[in-house]
Every structure is written in structure tokens, then in C-alpha cells.
């Protein structure tokens, strides 16, 4: 199976929205919401979404954002979301997506790359750790 990792296109938005809803349990990720967000991200060089295409469809994605921080003067890249369709898991697609995010971070000249992952996704922690990621914090959030 050939997998192409490439930047998202407008026509990919419904498939990415479905992944957000079904695999990441984010009900608010409607097709329209994802399309609107895609348009905003496209005009802001800090953001990028990569998709994994196989068998003529989008089977996974990863979204990144470059972040500035006083403790990391060169900045860092944060992975905001990653998902792969269940029937395509354990084929290295998630790893390919993470490697593409890491490549983008190197291209941007930042000092590190990281992610927040929910407790519901603990089954993915061994993958992240096998790729050299270490647990370093909890993520706290509040809806406004």
C-alpha cells in the first residue's frame, strides 16, 4: 500500500472533519468549521496540516502550529491533532505523519516538537515514546 503524505487541500476538509469527529471525539468539528479553519490556517504561515492519502482517500492527518515561548527562544512546533482511520492503523501511517511534522519543525529552525494527548488516547503513548517523546506535563484547558 502506497501512502502519500502531503499538505491538506480544500477538498480534503470533509475527510479531515470526519476524522476529528469520529477518531478524536470532537463533535464540534463540522465540515464547515474545518473548512473555515483551513482557510484561516492557509493564510497564517505558523500552521500546517498534512494528510495521509491511500487507496484514493484520506486515511489520516496531523496538524501543527509553530509557537513562540520565552523558555524556547527558537520556538517549537506543537502537534495539535493526529488521527488515522482504524482500518489503516498499525501500518506506520501515524509514524509517517509524526516524521513529517518533525521535518517541518527542522525546516522552520525551531528547537523542539511536542504534543498534548488526552487520557482517552493512552493506547498511543507507547508509539510516541518509541519515537523518542517523553511525558513531561499535563494539559489543562477551560472552555470560555
Q: Which residue has the cell 477551560?
A: 142
Per-residue pLDDT at 72: 85
CA dihedral 112, 65, 133, 109 (to 10 degrees): -20
**Which CATH number does the domain housing residue 24 bear?**
3.40.630.30
52 within domain boundaries:
yes
115 within domain boundaries:
yes
Q: What is the band of 144 on the pLDDT scale with cuts at 50, 70, 90? A: confident
Classify residue 4 as left (phi > 0), alpha (psi -120 to 50) or beta.
beta
**Full residue range of the structural domain in which residue 72 is found:** 4-130
| Grid cell locating 22 | 469520529
- Residue 46 clears pLDDT 80, i.e. is over it: yes
Return all residues near 33 (Cβ < 8 A) that are at least 6 apart.
Answer: 17
144 within domain boundaries:
no
41 within domain boundaries:
yes
Which helix (H) or strand (E) is 106 found in, with range?
A: helix 93-108
Number of folded domains that form the chain:
1
50 within domain boundaries:
yes
38 within domain boundaries:
yes
110 within domain boundaries:
yes
pTM of the model: 0.88
Condensed to tens digits (0 to 9), the pLDDT of residues 54-85 reads 999 999 999 999 999 898 888 999 999 999 99
By percentage, how much of the chain surpasses pLDDT 70? 99
| Cα–Cα separations (whole angstroms), residue 4 to 7, 9, 56, 110 | 10, 13, 10, 25
Comparing CA positions, the residue from 84, 67, 78, 83 lying closest to residue 115 is 78
Q: On the CB side of 76, how many CA atoms lie within 13 Å of its CA?
A: 11
Condensed to tens digits (0 to 9), the pLDDT of residues 10-19 reads 999 999 999 9
137 within domain boundaries:
no
Amino acid at each position: 500500500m502506497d501512502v502519500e503524505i502531503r499538505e491538506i487541500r480544500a477538498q480534503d476538509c470533509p475527510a479531515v472533519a470526519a476524522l476529528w469527529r469520529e477518531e478524536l471525539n470532537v463533535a464540534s468539528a463540522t465540515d464547515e468549521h474545518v473548512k473555515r479553519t483551513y482557510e484561516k490556517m492557509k493564510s497564517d504561515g505558523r500552521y500546517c496540516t498534512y494528510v495521509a492519502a491511500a487507496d484514493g482517500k484520506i486515511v489520516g492527518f496531523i496538524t501543527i502550529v509553530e509557537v513562540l515561548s520565552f523558555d524556547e527562544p527558537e520556538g517549537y512546533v506543537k502537534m495539535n491533532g493526529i488521527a488515522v482511520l482504524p482500518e489503516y492503523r498499525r501500518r506506520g501511517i501515524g509514524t509517517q505523519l509524526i516524521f513529517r511534522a518533525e521535518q517541518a519543525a527542522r525546516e522552520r529552525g525551531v528547537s523542539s516538537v511536542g504534543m498534548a494527548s488526552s487520557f482517552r488516547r493512552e493506547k498511543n503513548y507507547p508509539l510516541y515514546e518509541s519515537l523518542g517523546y517523553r511525558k513531561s506535563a499535563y494539559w489543562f484547558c477551560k472552555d470560555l
